[in-house]
Amino acid sequence: MKKRPPTTVPLPGASSICNLGSFQPRSGEDNTWNVIIETPQGSRNKYTYDHRHGLFKLKKVLPLGNVFPYDFGFLPSTLAEDGDPIDVLVLMDTSAFPGCLVPARLVGVIEGRQTEEGKKRRNDRLIAVATDSHNHRDIVTLRDLDESIITEIEHFFVAYHNLEGTPFKPIGRRGPKHAERLVEEAMQAYFDRLRAAALEKAG
């Protein structure tokens, strides 16, 4: 019996995975960063980027009444203290979608302390504004935001971590310069890990 040809033909290079985690964190413009959105505003579903498979997967579903207040994502080619890319909460006019690259300006940091397995560690949360946002275009630093917005964001992270059993306590607020300093450190940590892995492989 004659074999039937395949109904689909893979495109050249289709086997190679596009790893969003290795994108450049900086945009072409000054003070603009490339944020990869994982979870959109208003979603109960928490999505996370799977670097190994190059796709987004559902990590968890928040309880009824709990949603992400703004779009939540990460800066590629960075490495935070928890071993993942550094997280960013992005203020924009309407929600994006998982995998969307959003050019954004860093406006500050909500400093926090997290307790996990009896150990306390820093878990600072970066806040940014989408460069094309109309509603937030005049926001340059956290001080420009209404106090109720910052409080809402802090309450969200406290509630989110309580659900995970890793209590989070806001301990301070810093401006955009400190935010950029944290990103620079996370970029250096990422490239240090790449260099160490390359040296180990060269053996």
Mean pLDDT of the chain: 89
Res 13 pLDDT > 60: no
**pLDDT, tens digit, 9 for 90 and up, residues 131-182:** 999 999 999 999 999 999 999 999 999 999 999 999 999 999 999 999 999 9
Res 91 pLDDT > 80: yes
Q: Which domains does the chain have, with CATH numbers?
A: 22-198 (3.90.80.10)
pTM for the model stands at: 0.86
Res 16 pLDDT > 80: no
- 22 near 54, Cβ under 8 Å? no
Distance CA 127, CA 40 (A): 15
Which single residue is written with the structure tokens 């900086």?
Answer: 26
Distance CA 103, CA 36 (A): 9
Distance CA 8, CA 139 (A): 49
Alpha helices in the chain (DSSP H): 147-164, 176-202
- 127 near 108, Cβ under 8 Å? yes
Mean pLDDT, residues 82-109 taken together: 95
Res 83 pLDDT > 80: yes
- 113 near 81, Cβ under 8 Å? no
